[in-house]
Structure 1
Amino acid sequence: MRTILVVGGGYAGFYAAWKLEKRVRRGEARLILVDPRPYMTYQPFLPEVLAGSIEARHAAVSHRRHLRRTRIVAGAVTQIDHAQKTVLVSLTQGHQMVLEYDIIVVTAGAVTRKLAIPGVAEQAIGLKHVEEAVAIRDRLLTAFDQAASLQPGPLRRRLLTVTFVGGGFSGVEGFAELLSLASSLVRRYPELDAGELDFHLVEARDRILPEVTDGPGEWVVDSLRKRGAHVHLNTQVVSARDGHVVLSTGEEFDSELLVWTAGNAANPMVSSHTDLPIDHRGLLTVRADLRVGTDADPVPDAWGAGDDAAVPDLTSSESGVLTVPNAQHAVRQGKLLARNVVAVLRGRSTKPYVHHGLGAVATLGLGLGIFQYRRFVVKGLLAWLMHRGYHVLAVPTWERKVRVLAIWLTAVVFGRDIVSLASVQHPRDAFVAGGVPAPD
C-alpha cells in the first residue's frame, strides 16, 4: 500500500482526507494526517463564538470523530524533504519523529501576519482559532464585571475600550459581533452606560471588506459608526505598549482588549523548510490540477491546496491571477485534490480547479448582515438570515449542523449566555489559594 500524508487539518486538509477516505479502496492506500490541533476550525463561526451565539466546541470539527480510516498524528510538520519523501514532525509532547510517505498533500494553511509594532506581540490576540475567540469573549465579559465595580475614570474607560486591527472579513465580522454583544450586555449592568463603550476598528487602507465593492463597504462603515463605533481608515497602529494604543493620525487611548486580524502571511514551514518549489511570496507553486510544480516541470507525488498554495484562478481573464485565500476555495480545492489523487493512483487523468465565486456574505451583529453577488446587494436582516443559512449548510457533517441549529434556536428563546469562564485559563489558582482566587 502507498502512504498518503496530509500536512495540516484545516479546511483543505480535512476535506482532502475526508474525501480520500470515501474514495480510496481498502488496501489501496493508507492515510496519515498531521496537525497540532485535534480539530478543524470552521472560521466563519468564530465571530459568533465571540458573541456567544454559538458554543465554542460547535465551531470545531473533530478529526478523530470524522476521519475514521486516517491515522491522526498530534504534531506540527516542521520540515519536508520530498527528495527522501520524509517529514520531520514536532509532537505536542515536545518530542520529534520522522514520517515516511509515498504521496504528500501540503495543506498547512497560512499564519497571522504580524508587524514589528511595539506592544503588539505582548498585548494582541489573533482570531484564527477557537481558543482565541473564547479568550476574547471572556476578556470582554470580565472587563464588564470589573468596570461595574469602579467609579467613572481612566481605568473604567480602559476596561470598556476594545480595538480591532484589520478591516477584512474576519476583523469586521468579529468587531461587529463583539460590538453587538457589548451593546446588549450593558443593559445587564445598571452601573454602566452605553455611551461609555469605546470600540475602535483600525484599517490601513481607505476602505474595509475588500471582497465587496465600494458602495456596500461604505454602508458597513456608516452602519458601524451609527452604532457608536470608531472606524479609522487610512490609519495604522504605531504602538500598543501596555495597552496604550497610538495611531498614525496622532490619536491615543488605552484599550483593555486588542485583537489583531491584519491579514495572513506565508506559513514559515512552507516558505523556508521544504525542498518543494515556492514562489516569491513563500507560497507553494501548484498547477491548476493542484499538483505541485508547473505544467513544464511537475513534481511527482506532491499536491497542495488552501492558503499555503498559489492556485491559479482559471476564472480570471488575466494571466497570473491566483485564487483568493478563503474558505470557499479551500473546501472545494480539498475535495478536488482528493479526486485527482485517486485518479492518478488509478491511471486516470486529473481535472483543473475552476470555481466561480458565490458572492460574499458577512454578519454584522445580531439581525444585521450584508451579502453581495456581483452587482446584487442585500443588506440588513435578510442578509443576516442568508449568512446563517449558508453557513449551517456549509459546515461539515450533519452532527455539527444540528448542534449549531439547536444553539441558535435556544438563543432565540433565552438570549445569549453571558457567563465568563476566563478563570479556566488558570485552573489551579483557586486550588493553590485554598478556595480564594489568587491575585493576578
Structure 2
Amino acid sequence: MLRLFSLLFLFSTLLFASAKHYDFNLIKKGVDDDNTLLVVGGIQGDEPGGFLSASLLATHYEITKGSVWIVPNLNFYSIIKRSRGPFGDMNRKFAELSCEDPEYDTIQRIKSYIKDEKVKLIVNLHDGSGFYRPTYEDNMHSPSRWGQCSIVDQENIDAQYGNLAEIAHKVNKYVNKHLMKQEHKYHLHNTRTREGDKEMEKSLTYFAINNNKAAFGNEASKSLSTHERVYYHLLALERYMQIMGIEYKRKFTMHPNGVYAAINNDIYISMYDNKIKLPLSKIRNYLRYFPIKKDEEVDFRASNPLLTIVKQGNEYTIQYGNRRLSRLKADYIEHDEHKPTFEFLIDGEVIDVSFGDIVEVKKNFLVKDDQNYRVNVIGYTSSRKKETDVHIAKNQIAQRFSVDQSGDIYRVEYYKKEKFAGMILVKFKS
C-alpha cells in the first residue's frame, strides 16, 4: 500500500510539473484604454471551438479602434491532453480554491486580469452539448443542453454594460441573421445563478459580475464541426466588439469555409532563432533524423499561440491545440551559431538565401558550393561526394523524405564540421 501511495504521489508530482510548463498567454491588441474587452478561450481543453476562436481573434484580426485582451489558452495543459481538466474543472475554481491546488496560480492570474480597471466586458468561450432551447423539444434540443446560446448569470448588474440580458439578445439577433441552418439558432440562457445554482456560483463569469464586470458565456454546439463552432463564436465576438465601439479588420472571409482556411492554412513554427522554419498546414505526421540541439530545450517561435512542442523521450511532438500535427525524431547534435547567406540557382536564376527560408522551385535547383559547409539534400541520392553544384529536380528526391504530405517540400541541411548549421526548404510548385 505504501508503495502504491508513493507511485501515485510521484505520478501526481510529475503531472503537476508538466502542467506548470504550459502557462497561458495574454495577448493585447489595439491601444489599451478603459473600455477593454477580455476574451477567454480554453478554460476546458475539450472545447476546441472556444480556444481556436480566441486564437484567430489574436492572429487574424487587427483592432483599429479600442482595446481587446485575449487569453486563447487559459488551461493549456488541459488543451494538450484533450481533457476537460486533468486537475478538475477549471471553471469551478473561481469561488474558493486551496493554494495547494495545481491551478491556483493560473486562477489568481486570470482573476487579476478580470478585475483590471481597464476591463469592462468579458466573454468566456465554450463548446456545449446539443442545442439549448428555453422549452423542451427533444433530448438534443432542450433546457438541459448548452450549445448555441448566450449565457448570463442574471439580467442586470450595476456596471458599465450591466444590461446583460439586453446585450445578449442583441448578440443573438446578429448571429441568427447568419445561420447555416435554422437548427443553429441562438437563444438567451439565463442561469439565474444568484438564485441557488451552486455550480455556476463557482464559474468565471459569476466571479466577474461579483466584481462589477459585465460577463457572458458564449456556447457553440459540439454537434457542429470545429470550424463551424468557430464561425458562430466569431460572429458573436464581432457583435460584442460593435456594441463596445471597438473597430476591427479581419484577414479572412466570414464564412465557414473562410474560417476553416484561417484555422488550417499558413501556420508554421520556427526553431533556433529562425534557423529552421516548418510550414505546418500539410506537414507529414512523422519526420525522421531531425536536428535537435544537444542537451537543451527546443527554442521555438510559433505563428499561433496554440502551437507548442512537447518532448516525449527522443521525439518532439508539434501540437496545435489538441491536435498532434507531427512528431520529430531527434538527431541530437551540436549547433553552429553563425547565420550566413548562400547562393542557390533556382530555375537558372541566382538568388541569395538564408537559413529558415522557403524557396519556390518550378523545375530544378542547384546549391552553390561553400567551402565552409557540407550540404545534405535530404532524400537525394547520388554517386557524387558532394550535393552542391548539381541541378536537382523533384523526381530525383525520394518522396518519402518530403516535409509535407503532398511531396512538394524538401530539406536542404547545412553542416559545419560536426555541427548542424541550419536548414533551407525548397518547395516545388505543383
TM category, shorter: under 0.3
TM-score by length of 1: 0.26
Q: Flag the structure with higher strand content.
A: 2
Which one has more relative contact order, counting CA pairs under 8 Å at least 6 apart? 1
TM-score by length of 2: 0.27
Q: Flag the structure with higher helix content.
A: 1
